[in-house]
Structure 1
Amino acid sequence: MAISSTASAGVGGWDYTDLLNGMAANEQLRLNPYTTLQTSCKNKVSAWGTISSLMTNLQSSVKKLNGEAFNTMKVSTNTAFTATATDSAIADTHAVTVVQLAAAHKLKTDAFDSADKQLGTSTNGGTRTITISQGDGKKLTVDLKDDETSLNQIASAINKQNADQGGSVSASVQRDGSGQYQLMLSSKKTGTDGEMSISVMGDDSLGNILNTSNGGKVPGEAGSDGDKMTVVSVAQDAKLSVDGIDYTRSSNNISDIITGVTLNLNAKSKTDSDPEQLTLTVDTSAIKTTLQDFVKQYNALISETTTNSKYVAPSKDGDTSSGGKSGALMGDSTLRGLVSDLRSAANGSYGSSSLSQLGITIDSQSGQMSLDESKLDKAIADNPGDISKMFQGSGTSAGLATTLGSIVTKYLGDTDTKTQGIIKSATDDLNTQLKNVSEQITKTQTLIDSKVELLRSQYANADSLFNQMNNLSNTLTSMFSKL
């Protein structure tokens, strides 16, 4: 707490400002132990945050080595369909024939000269209701007033109610080749699940325009006399054959036939050709890419732990600038345990395999991994199954991925099981210390400020008293000189 330079001159002309400032600076030294502890705790929390982030990165890589990396499939290129595979797919070949694509139902009204002309019958303020039913049982209801029966108003009302009711229908007004207007209704669902049936209650005139009970009129075909709207596109399901078995689905995106595979149907297969072959093969490049990332993430974590655990001896004068600073977590038992667990797992044997057989060696001093890619390529080409067993385990024997995953969970915790990790406990303790030391700093600063203010007040009072005595002395001297 600095004293203002505008303070009075002081006792007998003596300026006590510098003295008070010096005393205030000396009092501030009482805060040093607390601020040092505060800085230390903040650095430790920050260090654990960085380490936790790097452990999360390693965990992501380890999870891939526990499944996805060894189950990534290459999918053949086909004409009538495309396919995508998840890590649950199995390497195999399937014969696929696309017989028919799924299509969405679409209807149109007759043509009218105006899109704004009222087409319904006046009911003297009453309403009429349009109901659009679909093959999956869902219904969309639209109420219209007497002055809301033009093509544009009907389309707008259907779209609004569709949004409000979560329907699967869209409406629009289009012009035909002669410039007249037609209302178009389209199902947002493909297949017979989306087939529309329209009925109008309370307005026969509008019903004679929209009513559809048999899927719509098909030009040139009989059997749809009760339909007033015309079919633009027939609602139809997809039909295909997979390995000689026939299937019918409402969508062209099919994921429930081949495990882990989604078929996206694009076109009908040629009728004069054999079924197309869908081939799924293990993508060994995914194994290599994941192992490269694993080495990268492991090294980044080990490097960070080394930085935070190192000790740098200060020079004789206490200066450490030339050699850097000691790590924020130097001597921390939790960090030592983490590093020991990681290095023990990485150097272990799993079944008859170890990382060295994949071309991954570990420096005994730094703990850093080095990857020989040519040796890794050969190991992957010779027997990717053995690599999979090494990481994923076999029978009751845990693999490296499982072991490392358990270590990460031990220190980071698990949100699914609501398990608190060791690092969370450590940072909670540090944050408690930070809270306590912050409170202590505030209290100590208040005491320092009070003491300095008391001294300033005492000096000011002494100065005032001296000035009073000096004035009295001058007065007496003047009086005596006149006697």
Structure 2
Amino acid sequence: MTNISMLGIGSKGATSELMQRLIEIENLKLKPLQNEKEIIKNKISAWGKICYSLQNILQKSSTINSRSFSSFQSSKNECFSTSGGQSESSHEVSVVQLAKNHTLSLFLKQKKNTILGNSENIRYLNIVQGNKQNQTNKKVRIKLNRNNTTLENISKAINKSNLNIHSEIKKINFNENCLLISSDILGTNGQLAINVDGDDKLDQILRFPNKNVENLEKNQNETTYTQMRENQKAQCSILEVDGIKYYRESNIITDALKNVTFNLIKTSKKDESKKFFEKETVRFFKDKNFVLKNIKEFVTCFNTFIDQTSEFRKLKLENSHNSYLNKQSKDHMTQSSILFGNSLLTNLISKLRQCTRINYCDYKQTNITSLIDVGIAIDQKSGKLILNQEKLNSNTEKNWLNMQDFFLGKKNQIGFISNISQLIQEYINNTKLNKSGIIESELQDLKLKNKAVIKNINRTETMIRNRINLYQLQFQKLDVFLTKTDAISKQIDIILSSHKT
């Protein structure tokens, strides 16, 4: 007969409790490996955050360049805005005319699905867009059958054409509709001309320009009500700068002044005589605030990096949890942060601090040779940068060229920005040189270690499972043995008790 055993029955629970303790002891072998895996994971995360901070410093340092030191700002004006500039100067400007797109409209006291034109089956709608003098003409010829001569279908056909125009129908009242046709191109390059071949009746309605515009305007109660009208003429912009007028097909003008872009907003007011347009003065001056803004952002990113790396390197109090055979204790103890004592991080911080402390120019040639001279003090304990706004503003006004030489370098002398940028590029990936940085190499080593630890954990888990299965088999046999011996003991007791009687 097969023996049936459940762990702990024969031993009255003793083997079950012992088995649970053995499982806990075996699982303790995983603890060092799991801790190692967690440490590696935290190191990978920490180095990733450090790389991100360094990239921010590099990006902010790249904004402090020759272009930012030579950028210009313009005065604010009412009728136009400007950007660019390459020298400190002033100009007299007036906006004579804004460029506008061509807009046509057709009013009909009919429903939008009413068939227009004659009874011919086929006709052709011809649309020309552009200025012949500027050689921008584009033509389209649209075939329309009789059913396609409704306002609705004409509008759809226009929208499907390959010209830069759009059309829509506006409902005026119950039986009155308006067909609007607008060019998407500003100026005379978007000018429209429309006619119809093969349908004189439809041509009379849609043709623009009309054959007898003057007569039609005078007699609006008759045929003009079913004629195409011009709501907005196609016109170019006219900008007058220092007495010279510039005619352009856009409201954004880039070639009136070198390296200056004009964005026209509205036409200038006319003087009391209504003959001349009033002029506005636009002034260009060095945009020093732009450089100051970039310097402040660089300092902020640098200090963020210092705070972050300090957190990764310091000692701190943490709870220590120990678990052994279901007994737990919590003790406060001093533990090191994830990168405490890491030589790679220590060297990086040391080199960055050195970049902020050294002199970049000769005192005999300039009065700005260090960050302190610029107006950026250094906290000797933490290494963080401290802005002296008053001194920084003063140097901006009085020592602009010396500041530029300090940050960007001069002749054979390397500048602060170039020096710190080269250092950072050694540590993070250098995409220009297609070269991995020092931190990337460290991350690759950590990832290889992580794979080895995971492999070791899997192997240890398998070994633990096999050993636990062996323990369970042995205890099952022990339970069967104890069950049998207990039964024999009871039988002996019965026999002995019967002999006594």
Task: Kindly indicate whether the alpha-carbon contact (under 8 Å) linking 2:378 and 2:384 is maintained by their aligned counterparts in 1.
Answer: yes
The answer for the alignment partner of 2:360 in structure 1 is 350
- CA 1:236–1:21: 2 relative to 1, 3 Å: same
Of the candidates 284, 289, 294, which is equivalent to residue 285 of structure 1?
Answer: 289
Give the letter for the 2:297 counterpart. Answer: D
- CA 1:14–1:189: 2 relative to 1, 3 Å: closer
The answer for the alignment partner of 1:429 in structure 2 is 445
- CA 1:29–1:242: 2 relative to 1, 3 Å: same
The answer for the alignment partner of 1:442 in structure 2 is 458
User: What are the equivalent positions in structure 2 for 1:153-302 lying under 5 Å apart?
Assistant: 153-159=153-159, 161=160, 165=162, 167-174=163-170, 180-200=176-196, 203-212=199-208, 219=214, 229-269=228-268, 270=270, 271-272=275-276, 275-302=279-306
Task: Kindly indicate whether the alpha-carbon contact (under 8 Å) linking 2:96 and 2:277 is maintained by their aligned counterparts in 1.
Answer: no
Give distance in 2, aligned partners of 1:50 and 1:472.
71
With 173-182 and 438-447 compared, the bigger mean Cα shift is at: 173-182
With 272-281 and 38-47 compared, the bigger mean Cα shift is at: 272-281
Task: Kindly indicate whether the alpha-carbon contact (under 8 Å) linking 1:218 and 1:231 is maintained by their aligned counterparts in 2.
Answer: no
- CA 1:325–1:261: 2 relative to 1, 3 Å: farther
Task: Kindly indicate whether the alpha-carbon contact (under 8 Å) linking 2:7 and 2:475 is maintained by their aligned counterparts in 1.
Answer: no
The answer for the alignment partner of 1:382 in structure 2 is 398
Deviation at residue 251 of structure 1 after TM alignment: 0.8
User: What are the equivalent positions in structure 2 for 1:108-187 lying under 5 Å apart?
Assistant: 108-109=105-106, 111-122=108-119, 128-135=123-130, 136-138=136-138, 144-159=144-159, 161=160, 165=162, 167-174=163-170, 180-187=176-183
Task: Kindly indicate whether the alpha-carbon contact (under 8 Å) linking 1:216 and 1:231 is maintained by their aligned counterparts in 2.
Answer: no
Give the TM-score, by structure 1 length: 0.82
Count of aligned pairs: 464
Deviation at residue 293 of structure 1 after TM alignment: 2.5
- CA 1:232–1:312: 2 relative to 1, 3 Å: closer
Deviation at residue 258 of structure 1 after TM alignment: 3.4
Give the letter for the 2:91 counterpart. Answer: H
- CA 1:477–1:350: 2 relative to 1, 3 Å: closer
Give the letter for the 2:187 counterpart. Answer: G
- Structure 2 SS opposite 1:370: strand
The answer for the alignment partner of 1:402 in structure 2 is 418
Give distance in 2, aligned partners of 1:100 and 1:264.
13
Deviation at residue 459 of structure 1 after TM alignment: 0.9
Deviation at residue 14 of structure 1 after TM alignment: 5.3
With 255-264 and 360-369 compared, the bigger mean Cα shift is at: 255-264
Task: Kindly indicate whether the alpha-carbon contact (under 8 Å) linking 2:43 and 2:338 is maintained by their aligned counterparts in 1.
Answer: yes
With 452-461 and 282-291 compared, the bigger mean Cα shift is at: 282-291
Give distance in 1, aligned partners of 2:401 and 2:211.
58
Deviation at residue 356 of structure 1 after TM alignment: 0.9
User: What are the equivalent positions in structure 2 for 1:315-334 lying under 5 Å apart?
Assistant: 325-334=335-344
Give the letter for the 2:63 counterpart. Answer: K
Identity %, equivalent residues: 29
Task: Kindly indicate whether the alpha-carbon contact (under 8 Å) linking 2:80 and 2:264 is maintained by their aligned counterparts in 1.
Answer: yes
Task: Kindly indicate whether the alpha-carbon contact (under 8 Å) linking 1:195 and 1:215 is maintained by their aligned counterparts in 2.
Answer: no
- CA 1:288–1:251: 2 relative to 1, 3 Å: same
The answer for the alignment partner of 1:452 in structure 2 is 468
Aligned-residue Cα RMSD (Å) equals 3.8
- CA 1:191–1:326: 2 relative to 1, 3 Å: same
The answer for the alignment partner of 2:133 in structure 1 is none
- CA 1:157–1:418: 2 relative to 1, 3 Å: farther
Task: Kindly indicate whether the alpha-carbon contact (under 8 Å) linking 2:317 and 2:332 is maintained by their aligned counterparts in 1.
Answer: no
- CA 1:132–1:67: 2 relative to 1, 3 Å: farther
- CA 1:110–1:451: 2 relative to 1, 3 Å: same
The answer for the alignment partner of 1:99 in structure 2 is 96
Deviations 1:119-139 (A, max 9, x none): 144555xx6554433213455
- CA 1:55–1:113: 2 relative to 1, 3 Å: same
Task: Kindly indicate whether the alpha-carbon contact (under 8 Å) linking 2:315 and 2:334 is maintained by their aligned counterparts in 1.
Answer: no
Give distance in 2, aligned partners of 1:320 and 1:355.
48
Give distance in 2, aligned partners of 1:416 and 1:141.
52
Give distance in 2, aligned partners of 1:273 and 1:402.
50
Deviation at residue 355 of structure 1 after TM alignment: 0.9
Task: Kindly indicate whether the alpha-carbon contact (under 8 Å) linking 1:110 and 1:209 is maintained by their aligned counterparts in 2.
Answer: no
- Structure 1 SS opposite 2:463: helix
With 203-212 and 471-480 compared, the bigger mean Cα shift is at: 471-480
Task: Kindly indicate whether the alpha-carbon contact (under 8 Å) linking 1:192 and 1:237 is maintained by their aligned counterparts in 2.
Answer: yes
Give distance in 2, aligned partners of 1:347 and 1:61.
19
The answer for the alignment partner of 2:69 in structure 1 is 70
Deviations 1:222-276 (A, max 9, x none): 9xxxxx6332222121122334544322111223443443211133344535643
Deviation at residue 102 of structure 1 after TM alignment: 0.9
Give the letter for the 2:190 counterpart. Answer: G
Deviation at residue 404 of structure 1 after TM alignment: 2.1
Deviation at residue 141 of structure 1 after TM alignment: 6.2
Higher strand share: 2
- Structure 1 SS opposite 2:23: helix
Task: Kindly indicate whether the alpha-carbon contact (under 8 Å) linking 1:106 and 1:186 is maintained by their aligned counterparts in 2.
Answer: yes
Tell me, yes or no, if structure 1 residue 411 matches structure 2 residue 411: no
- CA 1:97–1:281: 2 relative to 1, 3 Å: same
Give distance in 2, aligned partners of 1:84 and 1:280.
9
Give distance in 1, aligned partners of 2:164 and 2:422.
47
- Structure 2 SS opposite 1:235: coil
Deviation at residue 313 of structure 1 after TM alignment: 10
Give distance in 1, aligned partners of 2:339 and 2:23.
34
The answer for the alignment partner of 1:16 in structure 2 is 15
Give the letter for the 1:409 counterpart. Answer: Q
Give distance in 2, aligned partners of 1:356 and 1:45.
36
Give distance in 2, aligned partners of 1:260 and 1:323.
65
Deviation at residue 12 of structure 1 after TM alignment: 4.5
Of the candidates 324, 337, 344, which is equivalent to residue 347 of structure 2?
Answer: 337
The answer for the alignment partner of 2:221 in structure 1 is none
